[in-house]
A and B are shown apart, each in its own frame.
Chain A
Amino acid sequence: MSEKWNIILRIYRQKEGEAPHMDNFQMEVNPDEYVIDAVERAWAFHDRTICFRHACHHSTCGACGMRVNGVEKLTCITLIRDVTYDGATLKVEPLRNFPVVSDLAVDMGLFYRKMEKVDARAVLPVTEAEIENPPRKWASEDSEYIRLSDCIECGLCISACPIMATTPEYLGPAPLAAAQDHGIHRKPELLSIVDCEDGVWRCHSAFECTAVCPSFVDPARRIMDLRKQVVGTRLSKLIGKA
């Protein structure tokens, strides 16, 4: 059943101190493979100096986010069939708004530090209210099971957000979504972190983050909800004082 396609894998290359350029690799691929497999094969058989980041290959770790044909994707769950066709090129570039370590590998340190600043939850109860309503039906409702949170800190939303492109100081969609996941009422110290120039007020409703989020987090909607929480808290404080 494994069909064969001949594609040109066009990879962004950059070593420290050298000007970035694009390298083309003529490759035979199976369209039902994933983009990360093509990149890994380019490293294994074509050019051992290609640097790229990957780990779990099934969208739980968030390491393999890249721009595929200009759009942010988790390359481990993006089928080659969905992003190119036989005889075409497949352009792979690093995520935007992160310093490039080399080629496709970027340094997401500052992004992780922002997630730590809002103390984003890594694990949460399975029955925690889902963002969708009605909430997804879990196998057993009344359980006290714990699961890893939806956000896998892959950085796609950070790369897609037009405001993130203006300043490294902006918290960005994922940290704000994590703050919303806590809720200001449950974690009041978040108020001063998100109610500022680099917080919820910089979002200009492009909804790009939700468009590229691979993990059901819907950060844009959470930012809007966080805004309501902040306005509500500020108003009640004002009325409380008055």
Chain B
Amino acid sequence: MATTRNQPSARRFWSWFIPIRRDIGSWAFALNRITALGLTFYLFLHLIVLGLLAQGPGAYDSFLALTENPFIKLGEWAVVAAAILHGLNGIRIVLTSFGVGVTRQKQLFYGFMVIAIVVILFFTTKMYIG
């Protein structure tokens, strides 16, 4: 007699990415998932692009010129940022999974995010001003 509304269903997977009124852990989970998808996409793009190396200097170096294009550069910045965020959050998950700091997982997350921002700023200056 109960309806099937409100039940677990994978159709509402976008709810992972909008953890409003949820705890910091869910934001970390959403952040981790978005960065993971981005990085995996970049990984295979990166492999294909490096294939140009095999076709000799002309193809590769001309592609390199593209990195001056602001959009591509921004894309690369996003990849760097995503890698740092995902990496540090991953460390938090590894630590808590083995019981280290599991009672202070929030502080761990905030701490890692501060480090992430510092490192990202460093790379940003390196990429844009350096």
Contacts and interface: CB of A to CB of B under 8 A. Distances in A.
B14 to A, nearest CB: 11
B129 to A, nearest CB: 36
Given A166-B8, A167-B8, A207 B97 contact: no
B48 interface: no
B105 interface: yes
Interface residues of A, number: 37
Contact of B99 (A14, A16, A168, A228): A228
Given A70-B21, A162-B19, A207-B105, A100 B1 contact: no
Contact of B10 (A70, A160, A167, A218): A167
A235 B41 CA distance: 34
Interface string A198-242: 000000111110010000001011001101100000000000000
Interface in B83-118: 92-93, 96-99, 102-103, 105-106
Given A208-B26, A221-B102, A106 B6 contact: yes
Nearest to B32: A204
A99 B6 contact: yes
A14 B6 CA distance: 11
B7 A224 contact: no
A166 B13 contact: yes
Interface string A86-122: 0000000010111111100011000000000000000
Instruction: Summarize B's interface: helix, strand, loop or mixed.
Output: helix
A165 B8 CA distance: 4
A211 B3 contact: no
Interface string B3-35: 111111110110110011111111011001000
Nearest to A93: B6
Interface string A129-173: 000000000000000000000000000000010101111101000
29 contacts: A16-B2, A20-B5, A71-B21, A96-B6, A99-B2, A99-B5, A99-B7, A101-B2, A107-B2, A162-B29, A166-B9, A166-B10, A166-B13, A167-B8, A168-B7, A170-B8, A205-B25, A205-B97, A207-B23, A207-B105, A208-B22, A208-B23, A211-B23, A218-B103, A220-B105, A221-B99, A221-B102, A224-B96, A228-B98
